[in-house]
Each structure stands twice: as structure tokens, then as C-alpha cells.
Amino acid sequence: SEQRVKWVIGNWKMHGRLAENAALLQAVADGASAIGNSIRMAVCVPTPYLAQAQALLSGKPLAWGVQDISPYTHGAYTGEVAAEMAGEFGATLAIVGHSERRAYHAESSELVAAKARRALEADLTPIVCIGETLDEREAGTTESVVGAQLDAVLKLLSVEEAGRIVVAYEPVWAIGTGRSATAEQAQEVHAFLRARLAQKDASLTRVPLLYGGSVKPENALALFGQADIDGGLIGGASLKSEDFLAICEQA
């Protein structure tokens, strides 16, 4: 398979406080410096902590990002955060369409696509999350579900824009459950997604495809060794520097 750089991105979700973040960011940044630039490492922190990430991570081989953005540039959208606002604090990444946003905030694939485009316009790399529920998998509809989620984004973006996204395949049944997809199950979906991207344009086979869902130091090597898995989006295990770094070392 072609050589693509590996990515490992942490998603802290709604965890952290200033004091504990400082220790975690420092430890992960030290580990990232030891690992070097052979892989891309990042952490997506709660929005209030972007300034702290910027203060502690500037100049380190550890990027930072936000966990969601508004699809708008500015306006009467109480509580929302614009991509440019995150960018002013040095964020280079924005998760969009996380299954928790889709489930608890009723985000549609069309809204997720609009957020992805907005991120790109603000020079943030959108990490577009897609994935099926357990019911959908058991009904045999995994490919139609994730295919439709990806298509909504590809429909809105030009080929040039689509070439700047990152896709995270995160089966909902594997997120925070301790139950990871097997490396073979994940690879099967990643190969499907890579082919779907290639249908839009051959150049899009280079889009990074990350796996997310209970990635741990124990299963990272098998997952990252698959031909179409370009790294991981890490929830729970990104809150412990030893676990996160152990996962990064296997990328």
C-alpha cells in the first residue's frame, strides 16, 4: 500500500481542569518530542482550554484542536464557537460530526458537512467522524450508513477541499464501551471508505482514515498495522499520558 503518514489524535471530550491539564499536556508534549515528527500527534481539548494548550504546546510536535465548531462565521448563535476563534488560539484541527454530537445534539450529516467546509475555510483540518450503531451493523447496513455519512461531506466539498479532510471511522458500539472493532472489521470498513473517496477523485485515496473506538495500548498495533488504517482517534485513553503515548508509539 502507499505510504501515508500516521496520525494519533486525542479527544478529551468534557474532561480536564487547568491543573490536571498542565501535567497531561506537558507529559504528552515531552513524549511527542521523543517520538519526533515521524507521526502526527494532536489533542482536541475543551474549548476553554485552547489558550492553555497554546501556552504549553507552541513549538512542540503536538498540535491541538477543538471538538466541534459552528457552521457559521459569526452571528446570533449563543454558545457557539466559530472556527476562526479556535484558530486565534492556535488550533489547527476541529472534530466535526462526533457520534456524541450526532446523538445528543441531533446533528445531521448535512450540518456536519457544513461544519467541515467551514473548518476548511478557516484553515482548520476537519476530523470528520462517521460510524454505524450496533443495530445498523447487525442489520447489515454498515456500508450504506457510513457511505451516506461520507457522501454528504463529499457532496459539499470540492476535490481540493476534500483532499484536506481527515476521516475518522468510529463505530458507535465501540466508543467508550471497551469493545473495539477487531482489526479485520475496521480494515473492511476503511477499505470501503477509501474506495468511496476514490470514486469522487483518484487523489482522495490519500485522505487519512483513522479508526476510533476503544483504542488502547493493547490493540493499537493490530489496528494500525492494517493497510487502510492511518492511525487513531483516541477518547478515554488520551486522558492518561502513558496510555496515549504507548498508543502513539505503535503508529
Query: Among all chains, which residue has been given the C-alpha cell 443495530?
Result: 135
The length of the chain is 251
Whether 98 sits among the annotated catalytic residues: the reply is yes
Which residues within the stretch 145-174 sit at the binding site for ligand PEP (CB under 6 A)?
170
Q: Confirm or deny that 214 is annotated as ligand binding.
A: yes
Catalytic residue among 100, 107, 170, 190, which? 170
User: Pick from 219, 235, 244, 248: which binds ligand PEP (CB under 6 A)?
Assistant: 235
Active site residue 190: no
Which residue among 6, 7, 10, 11 contacts ligand PEP (CB under 6 A)? Answer: 11
* Burial of 76 (C-beta count, 10 Å sphere; 0-12/13-18/19+): exposed
For the stretch 162-182, what's the b/e string if a residue is b when 16 or more beta carbons lie within 10 angstroms of its beta carbon?
Answer: bbbbbbbbbbbbbbeeeebbe
C-beta of 207 vs 247, nearer to ligand PEP: 247
Question: Which residue's CB is nearer to ligand PEP, number 48 or number 176?
Answer: 176
Find the part of the chain contacting ligand PEP (CB under 6 A) among 83-91, 157-165, 228-236, 243-251. 228-236
User: Coil, strand or helix: which one is 106?
Assistant: coil
CB of 27 to ligand PEP, least distance (A): 18
Q: Which is nearer to ligand PEP, 98 or 118 (CB)?
A: 98
State the cell numbers at 106. Answer: 441531533
If one asks whether residue 234 binds ligand PEP (CB under 6 A), the answer comes out as yes
Cα separation of 92 and 112, whole Å?
Answer: 18
CA-CA distance, 226 to 205, in Å (whole number)?
15
Only one residue has cell 472489521, namely 185
Is residue 36 annotated as involved in ligand binding? Answer: no
- The answer to whether residue 220 forms part of the interface with ligand PEP (CB under 6 A) is no
Between residues 103 and 227, which has the closer beta carbon with respect to ligand PEP?
103
- Tell me which residue has its CB nearest to ligand PEP: 235
Annotated catalytic residue, options 20, 98, 136, 161: 98
Number of Cβ within 10 Å of residue 222's Cβ equals: 16
CB of 184 to ligand PEP, least distance (A): 18
φ, ψ of residue 224 to 5 degrees: the values are -70, -15
Give me the least distance between CB of 21 and ligand PEP, in Å please.
Answer: 18
HSE of 235 in the Cβ direction (CA atoms, 13 Å)?
22
Take residue 131 and report the three cell numbers written for it: 460510524
Sign of CA dihedral 110, 186, 8, 200: negative
| Residues flagged as binding site for substrate | 11-13, 176, 214, 235-236
Q: Which residues bind ligand PEP (CB under 6 A)?
A: 11, 170, 175-176, 212-215, 233-237
Residues that are catalytic: 98, 170
| Residues flagged as binding site | 11-13, 176, 214, 235-236
